[in-house]
Structure 1
Amino acid sequence: MEGDYIIGGVFSLHNTMHTVIHNYTRKPEPLRCSGRVDYRELRFARAMTFAIAEINNSSVLLPGVTLGYQIHDSCGSVSVAVQAAFQLVNGHAPEYHPDQRCSQSGMVMGIVGESGSTPSISMSRVVGPFNIPQVSHFATCACLSDKQQYPSFFRTIPSDKFQADALVRLVKQFGWTWIGTVYSDSDYGNNGMASFLSAAQREGICVEYSEAFYRTNSRSRIQKVAQVIRSSTATVVVAFAASGDMRILLQELCQEPVPYRQWVGSEAWVTHPDLLRFSSCVSALGLGIQQSVIPGLETFLLDLPFITVSASPLLSEFWEEAFKCRMPTNARPDDTVCDGSEDLVNIQNPYTDTSQLRITNMVYKAVYAVAYAIHSAVCPQNTTCQPHPFIPLQSTQVFAQLKKVNFSLNGYTVSFDANGDPVATYELVNWQTTNQGPVRLVTVGHFDASQPKGQEFRIQKVLQWMQGTTQVPMSVCSQSCVPGTRKVLHKGKPICCYDCIACPEGEISNITDSPNCHHCPEESWPNPKRDSCLPKSVEFLSFSENLGIILIVFSVGGACLAILTATVFFQDRNTPIVKANNSELSFWLLLSLTLCFLCSLTFIGAPSEWSCMLRHTAFGITFVLCISCVLGKTIVVLIAFRATLPGSNVMKWFGPSQQRLTVASFTLIQVLICIIWLVVNPPFPINNLTTYKDRIILECALGSAIGFWAVLGYIGLLALLCFVLAFLARKLPDNFNEAKFITFSMLIFCAVWITFIPAYVSSPGKFTVAVEIFAILASSFGLFFCLFLPRCYIILFKPEKNTKKYLMSK
Structure 2
Amino acid sequence: MLAASAHGSAILLIGRTLTKFYQHVLSLTFAVKEINGDVNILPNITLGFNIYDNYNDAQLTYRTTMNLLFKSQRLVPNYECETQGKLTAVIGALASKASFRMAQILSLYKIPQLTYGSVPLIKNEVKQLPFFYRMVPSEDHQNVGIVNLLKHFGWTWVGLFVTDDDNGEHFLQALELRLSRHGICSEFTERIPPQEYLHTLNEMELKLKKFIKFFNHMTSNIFVCYGNTFSLMFLWYFAGEMPRDMKMTFPGKVWVITAQADFIIASISRHRDLQMFQGAIAFRIHSNEPPGFQEYLRTIKPDWAEGDNFLKEFWVEAFGCSLPDPRLPYVITGSCTRNDRLENLAAPLFQMQMTGPSYSVYNAVYVLAYAIQAMHSFRPTGREILYEQKEKNKDFQPWKLHRFLQEISFNNSAGDRVSFNDEREVRGGFDITNLVTFPNRSFHNVKIGWVNPEAPEDQLFVLHGDMITWHRDFNQALPLSVCSDSCHRGYQKKKKEGDKFCCYDCDLCPEGKISNKSDTDDCLQCPEDQYPNRDRDQCIPKVIKFLSYEEPLGKALAGVALSFSLVTVLVLGSFIKHRDTPIVKANNRELTYTLLVSLLLCFLSTFLFLGKPGKLTCLLQQPVFGMVFSVAVSCVLAKTITVVLAFLATKPGSHLRKWVGKRVATSVVLSSSLIQAGICVIWVGTFPPFPDLDLHSVTEVIIMQCNAGSVLMFYLVLAYMALLSIISFTVAFLARKLPDTFNEAKFITFSMLIFCSVWVSFVPTYLSTKGTYMVAVEIFSILASTGGVFCCIFLPKCYMMVFKPELNSREQLLRRKY
Give TM class, smaller chain.
Answer: 0.7 to 0.9
Of the three residues 76, 82, 97, the one matched with 2:62 is 82
The answer to whether the 8 A contact 2:136-2:285 is kept is: yes
The offset of 1:139, in angstroms, is: 4.1
Of the three residues 278, 282, 307, the one matched with 1:286 is 282
Q: TM-score, normalised by structure 2?
A: 0.82
Are 1:442 and 2:441 an aligned pair? no
Report SS of the residue matched to 2:161: strand
* Aligned equivalent of 1:674: 680
* Aligned equivalent of 1:409: 412
> Quick one: which amino acid aligns to residue 604 of structure 2?
L
Gaps of 5+ in 1: 18-34, 383-389
> Quick one: which amino acid aligns to residue 78 of structure 1?
A
Q: In the aligned structure 1, how far is the partner of 2:767 from the partner of 2:419?
A: 83
* Aligned equivalent of 1:367: 365
Deviation digits for residues 304-362 of structure 1, max 9, x if unmatched? Answer: 34543788653233333344432233799xx9444535444433356653235432222
Q: Which is further off, 307-316 or 145-154?
A: 307-316
* Aligned equivalent of 2:727: 720
Of the three residues 84, 95, 106, the one matched with 1:116 is 95
> Quick one: which amino acid aligns to residue 132 of structure 1?
I
Q: Which is further off, 435-444 or 289-298?
A: 435-444
Of the three residues 347, 353, 356, the one matched with 1:355 is 353
Distance change (3 Å), C-alpha of 1:56 and 1:250: same
The offset of 1:635, in angstroms, is: 5.8
Deviation digits for residues 470-507 of structure 1, max 9, x if unmatched? Answer: 54422222334455544444444433233344454455
Q: In the aligned structure 1, how far is the partner of 2:709 from the partner of 2:459?
A: 61
> Quick one: which amino acid aligns to residue 471 of structure 2?
M
Of the three residues 428, 431, 436, the one matched with 2:435 is 431
* Aligned equivalent of 1:457: 461
Q: In the aligned structure 2, how far is the partner of 1:708 from the partner of 1:211?
A: 74
The answer to whether the 8 A contact 1:569-1:578 is kept is: yes
Report SS of the residue matched to 2:572: helix
The offset of 1:541, in angstroms, is: 4.5
Of the three residues 706, 716, 721, the one matched with 1:709 is 716
Distance change (3 Å), C-alpha of 1:733 and 1:105: closer
Distance change (3 Å), C-alpha of 1:172 and 1:788: same
* Aligned equivalent of 1:567: 573
Report SS of the residue matched to 1:9: strand
The offset of 1:45, in angstroms, is: 0.9
Matched ranges for 1:29-428 at <5 A = 35-92=15-72, 104-105=83-84, 108-142=87-121, 146-185=125-164, 189-207=168-186, 208-217=188-197, 218=200, 219-220=204-205, 221-254=207-240, 255=242, 256-257=246-247, 258-270=250-262, 272-274=265-267, 278-308=274-304, 314-329=310-325, 336-338=334-336, 340-349=338-347, 353-381=351-379, 393-410=396-413, 411-428=415-432
The answer to whether the 8 A contact 1:674-1:711 is kept is: no
* Aligned equivalent of 1:466: 471
Are 1:620 and 2:597 an aligned pair? no
Gaps of 5+ in 2: 381-392
Q: In the aligned structure 1, how far is the partner of 2:31 from the partner of 2:189?
A: 44
* Aligned equivalent of 1:788: 794
The offset of 1:263, in angstroms, is: 0.7
The answer to whether the 8 A contact 1:144-1:150 is kept is: no
Distance change (3 Å), C-alpha of 1:621 and 1:730: farther
The offset of 1:191, in angstroms, is: 3.9
Distance change (3 Å), C-alpha of 1:495 and 1:708: closer
The answer to whether the 8 A contact 2:371-2:401 is kept is: yes
The answer to whether the 8 A contact 1:5-1:103 is kept is: no
Report SS of the residue matched to 1:308: coil
Q: Which is further off, 260-269 or 547-556?
A: 547-556
Distance change (3 Å), C-alpha of 1:631 and 1:182: closer
Deviation digits for residues 287-307 of structure 1, max 9, x if unmatched? Answer: 222331222222222223454
Q: In the aligned structure 2, how far is the partner of 1:491 from the partner of 1:650?
A: 85
The answer to whether the 8 A contact 1:236-1:264 is kept is: yes
Distance change (3 Å), C-alpha of 1:325 and 1:649: closer
Q: In the aligned structure 2, how far is the partner of 1:644 from the partner of 1:197?
A: 103
Q: In the aligned structure 1, how far is the partner of 2:94 from the partner of 2:268?
A: 17
The offset of 1:658, in angstroms, is: 7.8
Distance change (3 Å), C-alpha of 1:331 and 1:595: same
Distance change (3 Å), C-alpha of 1:355 and 1:671: same
Q: In the aligned structure 2, how far is the partner of 1:597 from the partner of 1:375?
A: 107
Q: In the aligned structure 1, how far is the partner of 2:185 from the partner of 2:666?
A: 90
Of the three residues 593, 600, 611, the one matched with 1:594 is 600
Deviation digits for residues 66-98 of structure 1, max 9, x if unmatched? Answer: 2222112223333323222111111246699xx
Distance change (3 Å), C-alpha of 1:273 and 1:619: same
* Aligned equivalent of 1:479: 485
> Quick one: which amino acid aligns to residue 238 of structure 2?
E
The answer to whether the 8 A contact 2:17-2:313 is kept is: yes
Distance change (3 Å), C-alpha of 1:550 and 1:324: same
Distance change (3 Å), C-alpha of 1:361 and 1:639: closer
Q: In the aligned structure 2, how far is the partner of 1:343 from the partner of 1:629?
A: 124
> Quick one: which amino acid aligns to residue 228 of structure 1?
F
Deviation digits for residues 259-305 of structure 1, max 9, x if unmatched? Answer: 21111111234375446761221221122223312222222222234
Are 1:558 and 2:564 an aligned pair? yes
The answer to whether the 8 A contact 2:67-2:75 is kept is: no
Q: In the aligned structure 1, how far is the partner of 2:788 from the partner of 2:354?
A: 102
Report SS of the residue matched to 2:310: helix
Deviation digits for residues 374-422 of structure 1, max 9, x if unmatched? Answer: 333444359xxxxxxx995332334443333322212122222343210
> Quick one: which amino acid aligns to residue 260 of structure 2?
A
Distance change (3 Å), C-alpha of 1:194 and 1:53: same
Report SS of the residue matched to 2:607: helix
Deviation digits for residues 745-802 of structure 1, max 9, x if unmatched? Answer: 3443344445555655666665554444333322322222223222332333334444
The answer to whether the 8 A contact 1:634-1:726 is kept is: no
* Aligned equivalent of 1:26: none
Report SS of the residue matched to 2:304: helix
The answer to whether the 8 A contact 2:19-2:318 is kept is: no
> Quick one: which amino acid aligns to residue 258 of structure 2?
S
Report SS of the residue matched to 1:146: helix
Q: In the aligned structure 2, how far is the partner of 1:211 from the partner of 1:285?
A: 20
The answer to whether the 8 A contact 2:513-2:524 is kept is: yes
Q: Which is further off, 764-773 or 414-423?
A: 764-773
The answer to whether the 8 A contact 1:627-1:715 is kept is: no
Q: Which is further off, 83-92 or 273-282?
A: 273-282
Report SS of the residue matched to 1:626: helix
Report SS of the residue matched to 1:566: helix
> Quick one: which amino acid aligns to residue 368 of structure 2?
V
* Aligned equivalent of 1:385: none
Distance change (3 Å), C-alpha of 1:352 and 1:645: closer
Report SS of the residue matched to 2:466: coil
Distance change (3 Å), C-alpha of 1:415 and 1:631: closer
RMSD (Å) for aligned C-alpha atoms? 4.2
The answer to whether the 8 A contact 1:365-1:414 is kept is: yes
Q: In the aligned structure 2, how far is the partner of 1:483 from the partner of 1:682?
A: 45
Q: In the aligned structure 2, how far is the partner of 1:344 from the partner of 1:400?
A: 40
